[in-house]
Amino acid sequence: MPPTRRFRLIPGAVTVLGLLLALGVPAARAHGVRTEVLAGPTSVVTVTHDDGSPLADTPFTVLAPEGAGPFLTGRTDAHGRVAFQPDRPGAWKVRVAGADGHGAVVTVAVDSAALAAPATGATVATHHAHEHDHAHDEAHVHADAHAHDHAHDHDHAHTRDRWSGAIAGLLLLLLVLGVGGVLLRRRRG
């Protein structure tokens, strides 16, 4: 490639990639799937698109630890939720899958303490690990002002995670290809 063309390529590429990132990262929030798990006497798995819209009316299967056959099957509710009452401790699996290939397989770790907890007790885990310094209970499923604030904070944190992940991935990609280019150049002398 002539040197002048190579020098035109770099600022052009930076501009195009920057614009695509600015457009792509917020838009990508609607394509991925995230999950939230409340493990307890009544365990709830909530599956949403990255923009918070639920995977509603999507088929799910709950598989018990070392169980033969599904423990429960059905379709997610309007909020993308699956609720079930585990009858033994262990790693429960919840598979939510649409025919278009969108979905997730989530492990719900239920221990004896969680099973013995009062019906309102639950522990929360999300696909993206954030600190939860307050106890959630099943009122979590009711929309109230706190839940809205929490969801709002959650979305912001998720967008930050998505941005940092996307940029880190881009830099890693360019690093790998850059190292590959240097090695190739050395090999060719």
Binding residues vs another protein (CB under 8 A): 1, 6, 9-10, 13, 16-17, 20-21, 23-25, 27-33, 49, 59, 61, 68-70, 73, 95, 97-105, 127, 162, 165-166, 168-170, 172-174, 176-178, 180-181, 184-185, 187-188
Q: How far is CA 168 from the centre of its chain?
A: 17
For 162, phi and psi rounded to 5 degrees? Answer: -65, -45
DSSP 152-172: HHHHHHHHHHHHHHHHHHHHH
C-alpha distances out from residue 86 to 69, 124, 179, Å: 14, 16, 50
| Residue placing its CB nearer to another protein in the complex, 134 or 187 | 187
Question: Which is nearer to another protein, 102 or 138 (by Cβ)?
Answer: 102
Shorter beta-carbon distance to another protein: residue 87 or 181: 181
Q: Which helix (H) or strand (E) holds 17?
A: helix 3-28
For residue 168, the minimal CB distance to another protein (Å) is 5
CB of residue 109 to another protein, shortest distance in Å: 16
Q: How far is the CB of 153 from another protein (least distance, A)?
A: 20
CA distance to 1, 6, 15, 182, per residue, from 176 (Å): 21, 19, 21, 10
> Beta 90-97 vs 103-110: how paired, if at all?
antiparallel
Amino acid of residue 186: R
CB of 69 to another protein, least distance (A): 3
Q: Compute the least distance from the CB of residue 77 to another protein, in Å.
A: 16
Residue 118 vs 189, nearer CB to another protein:
189
Residue 145 or 184: the one with the smaller Cβ distance to another protein is: 184
